[in-house]
Amino acid sequence: MHPKVMVVEDEEALSELLRYNLEAEGYEVEVIDRGDDADLRLREIVPDLLLLDWMLPGLSGIELCRRIRLRSETKTLPIIMLTARSEESERVRGLSTGADDFVVKPFSVPELMARIKAMLRRSNPGKVSSHIIVGDIELDRKAHRAHRNGREVRLGPTEYKLLEFLMSAPGRVFSREQLLDGVWGHNNYVDERTVDVHIGRLRRSITRGKEQDPIRTVRGAGYSLNDKFVSA
Ligand code: CA
């Protein structure tokens, strides 16, 4: 079963970009370009996740979100709100209306994909694989444990989340800001250097058996997990 993602977005270029990327990740995608149509459709089917634009014809994303939360069938439906507005007060309004997460346009597609994956994992662990393997690193998401080369890697909660986030998209370069958003959450007030500190700890933990360092520092850009590496 592929997780079903509903995209409610009236900008066709954006909804097509989202459809393309979501389908490439193996999701089943339905695009709706009006708020009122989405309201009706959500009474027929309940997707696994909703990507909801803020400004929509027919019915605003905010109002739709409020209605979704009032109905028992969709009360816990994971919602990521997309918006062109970045003001903090608007974010708060969006979150208090019941959105689970908030992404400001223009956003990075890999970051959004990583957030979708993380949210589906939290809401519906059965639909997302409980084990991920990249190279010789294996993550057991149910037990929150990491192994490298069969050896258990002891990680703090932040290092675990960081590794999980990097492993969700091997080879992709994440900026410090994206890592902060993805790992610490978008309401964090954490300095970007904190990312470097935790990357350092993660590196030490996963190379404790003298294995090769799988994390690549990309100067001026951020960090990435090598998608091709073997232990030394
Ligand atoms: Ca719009």
pLDDT tens-place string over residues 193-219: 999 999 999 999 999 988 889 999 999
Kindly state whether residues 135 and 110 are assigned to the same domain.
no
Same domain, 140 and 176: yes
**Cα 95 to ligand 1 centroid, rounded to whole Å:** 18
Last residue of a domain, one of 127, 155, 179: 127
Centroid of ligand 1 to alpha carbon of 169 (angstroms): 28
How close is the Cα of 193 to the center of ligand 1, in Å?
35
- Tell whether 230 is covered by a domain: no
Q: How far is the CA of 53 from the centre of ligand 1 (A)?
A: 6
Q: Are 123 and 133 within one domain?
A: no
Ligand 1 midpoint to CA 188 (Å)? 26
Ligand 1 centroid – CA 102 distance (Å)? 14
153-182 pLDDT, tens per residue? Answer: 999 999 999 999 998 888 889 999 889 888
Let me know whether 37 and 117 are in one domain. yes
Indicate if 82 and 142 belong to the same structural domain: no
Check whether residue 93 and residue 30 sit in a common domain. yes
Distance from the alpha carbon of residue 56 to the mean position of ligand 1, in angstroms:
5
Distance of alpha carbon 47 from alpha carbon 66, whole angstroms = 17
Residue 19 lies in a domain: yes
CA triple 193-194-195, angle to 5 deg: 85
Q: 143, 151 in Cβ contact below 8 A?
A: no
> Tell me, what's the pLDDT at 94?
60
Q: Same structural domain for residues 118 and 141? A: no
CA–centroid distance, 164 to ligand 1, in Å, is 32
CATH number at 79 reads: 3.40.50.2300
Q: 80 lies in which domain range?
A: 4-127
**What's the confidence (pLDDT) of residue 231?**
47
Is residue 45 located within the same domain as residue 78?
yes
Please identify, among 103, 127, 151, the residue that sits at the C-terminal boundary of a domain.
Answer: 127
Is residue 186 situated within a structural domain? yes
Distance 20 CA to ligand 1 centre (A): 18
Position 32 scores a pLDDT of 98
d(CA 173, CA 196): 14
Higher pLDDT, residue 67 or 229: 67
User: Are 68 and 182 members of one domain?
Assistant: no
Amino acid identity for residue 102 in this structure:
F
The tens digit of pLDDT for each residue in 95-146 reads 667 888 888 888 889 889 989 988 887 776 555 567 888 888 999 887 889 9
Q: Answer whether residue 232 is part of any domain.
A: no
- Rounded CA separation 115/49 (Å): 11
Q: How many angstroms separate the alpha carbon of residue 97 from the centre of ligand 1? A: 18
Q: Quick one: 118 and 57 in the same domain?
A: yes
Q: How far is the CA of 90 from the centre of ligand 1 (A)?
A: 15
> What is the Å distance from ligand 1's center to 38 Cα?
13
Report CA(19)–ligand 1 centroid distance (Å): 16
Last residue of a domain, one of 101, 127, 153: 127
The reply to whether 231 falls in a domain is no
Query: In the chain, how many domains are there?
Result: 2
Residues 134-154: tens digit of each pLDDT = 888 999 887 889 999 889 999
- Find the 78 Cα to ligand 1 centroid distance in Å: 19
Give yes or no for a contact between 6 and 68, defined as CB atoms under 8 angstroms apart.
Answer: no
Residue 60 pLDDT exceeds 50: yes
Query: Is there a domain that residue 153 lies in?
Result: yes
From the CA of 8, how far away is ligand 1's center (Å)?
9
Q: Report yes or no on 167 lying in a domain.
A: yes
Output the domain CATH number for residue 159: 1.10.10.10
* Same-domain pairing of 72 and 165: no
Residue 185 CA to ligand 1 centre (angstroms)? 24
Residues 54 and 140 in one domain: no
Report which of residues 186 and 16 the model is more confident about. Answer: 16
Task: Judge whether residue 78 has pLDDT over 50.
Answer: yes
Q: Which of 125, 117, 119 shows the shortest CA–CA distance to 142?
A: 125
